[in-house]
Amino acid sequence: MALQGKSRLDIVKDAFRAYDIRGTYPEQIDEDLFYQIGKSIATKIQKESNEKKIIICMDGRLTGPLLKKSLIAGLIDTGIDIIDIGILPTPLLYFSLYQLKIDNGLMITGSHNPKNYNGIKIVINKKTLFNEHIMRLFETIKNSDYFNSREKGVKEFNNEIVDKYINEIRTTITIKNPFKVVIDCGNGVTGAITERIFNAFNVDHEIIHENVDGNFPNHPPDPSNENNLLDIKKAVVKTQSELGIAYDGDGDRIIAINADGEVIW
């Protein structure tokens, strides 16, 4: 995607928002832009962080693999090492920063938005980027003002985060009274780990729409829209469960349903 031309720059700029980078694919974001975002983020790390390493995670959106490949290429070409923890919910990215003692992290996600969206949540120096800090990344891209690294970064994989996460929450959370719960993963990325988590606590549970599918075939991944809660409301009542939990696409927000199938606002 060429960034020449005012109209194209304006389209790209709109994807740089208050708390993340997010837009429609391929109209606002694509592989070429993600490569340049990778170089821009790497430039910021090279100039401001003592640690030249970053953790990368993504949700289950269909555009995720291609965008991640381009993002990683931009980071590596600008001298940043990569720890790839795979397809996991956003909270596990933040947990991995704590667990692995790494200061920088990226979550490739469209969050609760429709399937044609994707984006990036950014942590640098243990701080989530927002507002002008995100716009400075755009300015770096606009001006092609990238750090010139003499060495390329390297990539490694870490597939131990889920086990460590489950062990951590089992040591900090105690469920004294047994109950029954229905979980709607909404075909989002939480479906990758929800069964393992609830099995670890020996909770009586039923999971619906567990399969991770970036087409979101059952309903959009936004539980704040009550139209997307029809299935879980019915399931809670039908199974006589005490609680329902509906996740958004990347698992960083939930809506709770009571035993009567009503939303707990």
pLDDT in tens, the chain (265 residues): 445 545 778 889 999 999 999 999 999 999 999 999 999 999 999 999 999 999 999 999 999 999 999 999 999 999 999 999 999 999 999 999 999 999 999 999 999 999 999 999 999 999 999 999 999 999 999 999 999 999 999 999 999 999 999 999 999 999 989 899 999 999 999 999 999 999 999 899 999 999 999 999 999 999 999 999 999 999 999 999 999 999 999 999 999 999 999 999 8
Apex 142 CA angle, 9 and 2, nearest 5: 55
Beta bridge partners of 243: 181
Strands 127-128 and 117-124: antiparallel
Same domain (yes/no): 71, 104: yes
Same domain (yes/no): 133, 227: no
* CB neighbourhood size of 37 (10 A): 28
Cis peptide before 65 (omega within 30 of 0): no
Name the nearest CA neighbour of 175 among 264, 120, 242. 242
Contact between 162 and 196 (Cβ < 8 Å): yes
Please list, in sequence order, all residues whose beta carbon lies within 8 angstroms of the beta carbon of residue 29, skipping any fewer than 6 positions away.
12, 15, 21, 22, 23, 67, 118, 119
Same domain (yes/no): 146, 194: no
Predicted structure pTM score: 0.95
* CB neighbourhood size of 189 (10 A): 31
The residues annotated with a catalytic role in the active site are: 111
For residue 211 the two structure tokens come to 């399969």
Q: Which of 125, 160, 195 is the last residue of a domain?
A: 160
Same domain (yes/no): 33, 123: yes
Looking at the 3D structure of the chain, how many domains does it have?
A: 2
Which residues span the domain enclosing 77? 6-160
Same domain (yes/no): 154, 189: no
Same domain (yes/no): 117, 178: no
For the chain, percent helix, then strand, then coil, each to nearest 5? 35, 20, 40
CATH of the domain at 218: 3.40.120.10
Give long-range contacts, CB 8 A cutoff, 24+ apart: 228-236. 228/186, 229/184, 229/255, 229/257, 229/263, 231/184, 232/182, 232/184, 232/208, 232/257, 233/257, 233/261, 233/262, 234/261, 235/182, 235/184, 235/206, 235/208, 236/182, 236/261
